[in-house]
Amino acid sequence: MSIAFVVVMPFLMLFLVFFLADIEARHLTQRRVNERPSPVEATSEGQAPATA
């Protein structure tokens, strides 16, 4: 096993972990946005629109 492989492999694994975590975080954020009703839907249900 070459020294270059031993040196590079841990960084590749860290990159993979952070890349997958970033994808999962974006997915969860997008799902949270989709679950929140839009102001149009909220007003049609008789609720006041959320103003922030």
For 43, half-sphere exposure in the C-beta direction (CA atoms, 13 angstrom radius) is 6
Q: What is the pTM of this model?
A: 0.50
Q: Tens digit of pLDDT for each residue in 25-41?
A: 888 888 777 776 666 65
Enter the tokens of residue 46.
């008789």
CB contact set of 37 (below 8 Å; sequence gap of 6+): 45
Residue 23: pLDDT band with limits 50, 70, 90 = very high
Q: Give the span between the Cα atoms of 8 and 16, in whole angstroms.
A: 12
Higher pLDDT, 42 or 34: 34
